[in-house]
Chains A and B, each alone.
Chain A
Amino acid sequence: MHGSTHPSHLIPGQTIGDRLLERGVSRRDFIAFCRNTAILLGLGSAAGPRIARALQAVRRPTVIWLELQECTGCVESILRSGDPTIGNLLLDVISLDYSDTLMAAAGHQAEQAKDASMKANMGKYVLVVTGSVPLEENGIYTMIAGRTAKSILEEAAEGAAAIVALGACAHWGSVQAARPNPTGAVGVRDIIKNRPILTIAGCPPVPEVITASLVHYLTFGKLPEADGEGRPLFAYGARIHDQCPRRGHFDAGQFVHHFDDAGARQGWCLYEVGCKGPQTFSPCPIFMWNEKTSWPIGAGHPCIGCTEPHFWDTMSPFYHRLPGVAGYGIERDIDRIGATLAGLTVAGIATHATLTAVQKARRRRELPVIQSPPGGGGMPPQREEV
């Protein structure tokens, strides 16, 4: 590609197959990668050969990776993707022409490389965005090369064949967009409208999801099927709760009450300490992190629901099942308020019943006392009509 900062990327029109051969990747490793990716995509291992054929023939796509208002955690996450590793993903499958964290170039040189690559691949490159876009005070909270995040994103989106919003920041804004959102941070789809945007949700997302999504795009020429949030269904089609290895403990009523109790040591369900697995759609239990080493619930921490929009506000407090009641704070939760009101109701009923009894007794005293007929005792006289 013209102006690429990577010397090894200077062969225009090279296919992924050529590139892999050049890098000395064995056929066996390549087929294994295709099969594993087919499984990740939910296509089954039988789709592996089709992916292999497509990847061998396809020209390496140019990827422009914008890092806007973010913490670089998403890049750190993808650097630790298990299979394929960073080596065969970034250097062999895609041609990454611009990435603040990964590129060697800096300053004007880097910006020139980006502009040249975008011009040369107009309408063909894949745009990956991490980070949110701050809008307050004309977007001055994130400036790169003297330009606001919003204008950089709008320019890059113009010529992109596909847009991938990677991570919670690009999805909806993440922690900087949590109340009160001082910088007015928003996600990519709040800026780029009327275009399909693939959302790889999570803070950070599971790295294999982006790898698999890119392979899907290269194989089928389109982004994978997505839900209403733009999240690919092969990854975000089911709740953590329904795939969780601790689900058996939930069903059995075995819960961790405190992080240091016997249940926690037994690896019981984290529902009571605030796990948001029941309302979070994510492939974490299956894909996991760091070459399938672990994941939050596997490490004994409740899910915080980071793949769901506005999770910092809506899923917090993270160690409680229910959100705090507005204006009261978490220490006075709904159960305490409800129990207090129910107690007051019962007390009110007792008071009201007592007052009713007093009133009734008073009224009875006001009634004319019916004189019993002589010898009639306490029995009232009967109606004559009967």
Chain B
Amino acid sequence: MTSTSHPIGPGGPAPGPASFLGRGIPRPIGEFRWVYLWGLPLRAMHWIAAISVLVLVVTGLYIGNPYFVGGIEPGLIMTKFRFAHYLAAVCLATTALVRVYWLFAGNRFERLKALFPVRVRDIKNLFRMVKFYLMMEKDKAPHYLGHNPLQQLNYTLVFVVAALEVLTGFIMFGLAWPTGWIFKATSWLVPWFGGIQNVRIIHHSITWFFLIFIPAHIYLSFRADVIEGGGTVSSIVTGGRFFEADEVYEDEDA
């Protein structure tokens, strides 16, 4: 909308006392560009995994500690929760397999190389990012189009932990079917974990890892959107976001 076409008149709304909220709005400076970061398959994987993890956490907490008692006609509560848990587990495991394929088939923001800080510059930036989040460096956050080094390590850790969760889950799942292929494929790992109870407690503990990761992830995404104003949150829906056109980004040509 240009000032000339404003229905009220040139320059905006009718004169009045400058409001607190209106006072500080800076004028848009320079050009912006919209960069496509996350392909449709990656976004689909993100949301399938997100819903699966949510279902897994809720049902898993019940299975680990059945916190409400079945009544006179309980209607197979545990069976239903376990069914939902296993269904979501299969969705998550399948998504994980597709994600592994996508480490080689995806774009440069989605590939294996994007999972780790590889250049010396990126490793230096890792520490700058930590300082930025600790508010020790206000404006000096290194700018990345894709994930910054700290995000890379964080999400790679999530992949590793989720893989361990899926593995320990399938080890326990296999016990119910000792002649089946899942048991044959996984039971030899049990002594390596130091017994089935250790498998169980690792599986249980990782639930809490996700319960810590999820709020932190949501908070930091919204925070980045608030600070950068480029549409970080919507990038996982639309696939891209806005960047300042005259800024040079660390992973521009990576």
Interface residues of A (CB under 8 A from B): 228, 237-239, 241-242, 250-255, 257, 263, 271-272, 276, 278-279, 281, 308-310, 313-315, 321-323, 325, 334-335, 337-339, 341-342, 345-346, 349, 352-353, 355-356, 359-360, 363-365, 367, 369-370, 372-383, 386
CB-CB nearest in chain A for B68: A253
CB-CB nearest in chain B for A271: B66
Given contacts A239-B175, A360-B226, 5 further A-B contacts (CB under 8 A): A237-B179, A278-B175, A323-B200, A352-B219, A378-B16
* Cα A355 to Cα B212 with chains together (Å): 20
Cross-chain contact of A349 among B3, B21, B215 (Cβ < 8 A): B215
Whole-angstrom distance between the Cβ of B86 and the nearest chain A Cβ: 14
CB-CB nearest in chain B for A324: B201
B121 located at the interface, meaning its Cβ lies under 8 Å from any Cβ of chain A in the complex:
no
Name the B residues within 8 Å of A272 (CB-CB).
65-66
User: When A252-B76, A376-B11 are in contact, do A356 and B27 touch as well, CB less than 8 Å?
Assistant: no
Whole-angstrom distance between the Cβ of A12 and the nearest chain B Cβ: 43
**Residues of chain B in range 94-115 having any CB-CB distance to chain A below 8 Å:** none
Is the CB–CB distance between A308 and B178 below 8 Å? no
CB-CB nearest in chain B for A363: B138
Name the A residues within 8 Å of B14 (CB-CB).
375, 377
* Cα A80 to Cα B253 with chains together (Å): 78
CB-CB nearest in chain B for A361: B24
Name the B residues within 8 Å of A242 (CB-CB).
176
Cross-chain contact of A367 among B13, B24, B198, B207 (Cβ < 8 A): B24
Is the CB–CB distance between A314 and B204 below 8 Å? no
Name the A residues within 8 Å of B226 (CB-CB).
356, 360
User: When A321-B65, A345-B212, A346-B215 are in contact, do A254 and B26 touch as well, CB less than 8 Å?
Assistant: no
Name the A residues within 8 Å of B7 (CB-CB).
none
Is the CB–CB distance between B197 and A322 below 8 Å? yes
* Cα A308 to Cα B74 with chains together (Å): 32
CB-CB nearest in chain A for B22: A378
Is the CB–CB distance between B3 and A382 below 8 Å? yes
The 9 closest A-B pairs by CB, nearest first: A379-B12, A378-B22, A338-B208, A253-B77, A253-B70, A314-B195, A376-B11, A279-B196, A252-B74
* Cα A263 to Cα B68 with chains together (Å): 13
CB-CB nearest in chain A for B75: A252
* Cα A18 to Cα B18 with chains together (Å): 113
Is the CB–CB distance between B197 and A323 below 8 Å? yes
Is the CB–CB distance between B11 and A253 below 8 Å? no
Is the CB–CB distance between A369 and B212 below 8 Å? no
Is the CB–CB distance between B69 and A257 below 8 Å? yes
B64 located at the interface, meaning its Cβ lies under 8 Å from any Cβ of chain A in the complex:
yes
Whole-angstrom distance between the Cβ of A304 and the nearest chain B Cβ: 12
User: When A378-B13, A380-B27, A381-B11 are in contact, do A321 and B69 touch as well, CB less than 8 Å?
Assistant: no
Whole-angstrom distance between the Cβ of A331 and the nearest chain B Cβ: 16
Whole-angstrom distance between the Cβ of B145 and the nearest chain A Cβ: 22
Is the CB–CB distance between A315 and B22 below 8 Å? no
B78 located at the interface, meaning its Cβ lies under 8 Å from any Cβ of chain A in the complex:
yes
Is the CB–CB distance between B66 and A255 below 8 Å? yes
Name the B residues within 8 Å of A377 (CB-CB).
11-16, 18, 22
CB-CB nearest in chain A for B13: A377
User: When A367-B26, A378-B12 are in contact, do A353 and B197 touch as well, CB less than 8 Å?
Assistant: no
Is the CB–CB distance between A279 and B200 below 8 Å? yes
Name the A residues within 8 Å of B223 (CB-CB).
352-353, 356
B135 located at the interface, meaning its Cβ lies under 8 Å from any Cβ of chain A in the complex:
yes
Is the CB–CB distance between A342 and B208 below 8 Å? yes
* Cα A279 to Cα B133 with chains together (Å): 44
Whole-angstrom distance between the Cβ of B23 and the nearest chain A Cβ: 6
CB-CB nearest in chain B for A358: B135
Is the CB–CB distance between A314 and B194 below 8 Å? yes
Name the A residues within 8 Å of B176 (CB-CB).
239, 241-242
Name the A residues within 8 Å of B204 (CB-CB).
322, 334-335
User: When A338-B211, A345-B212, A382-B3 are in contact, do A250 and B201 touch as well, CB less than 8 Å?
Assistant: no
CB-CB nearest in chain A for B218: A349
**Residues of chain B in range 1-58 having any CB-CB distance to chain A below 8 Å:** 1-3, 9-16, 18-19, 21-28
B205 located at the interface, meaning its Cβ lies under 8 Å from any Cβ of chain A in the complex:
yes
**Residues of chain B in range 178-231 having any CB-CB distance to chain A below 8 Å:** 178-179, 187-188, 194-198, 200-201, 204-205, 207-208, 211-212, 215-216, 219, 223, 226-227
Is the CB–CB distance between A279 and B175 below 8 Å? yes
Name the B residues within 8 Å of A322 (CB-CB).
64, 197, 200-201, 204
Q: List 27 A-B contacts (CB under 8 A).
A: A228-B187, A239-B175, A239-B176, A251-B79, A253-B77, A255-B66, A278-B175, A279-B200, A308-B196, A321-B65, A322-B197, A322-B204, A335-B204, A342-B208, A345-B212, A349-B215, A349-B219, A353-B223, A369-B23, A375-B11, A377-B14, A378-B19, A379-B22, A381-B11, A381-B27, A382-B2, A382-B3
Name the B residues within 8 Å of A364 (CB-CB).
24
Is the CB–CB distance between A308 and B28 below 8 Å? no
Name the A residues within 8 Å of B216 (CB-CB).
345, 349
Name the B residues within 8 Å of A372 (CB-CB).
11-12, 18
* Cα A276 to Cα B196 with chains together (Å): 10
Name the B residues within 8 Å of A376 (CB-CB).
11-12, 15
* Cα A174 to Cα B182 with chains together (Å): 29
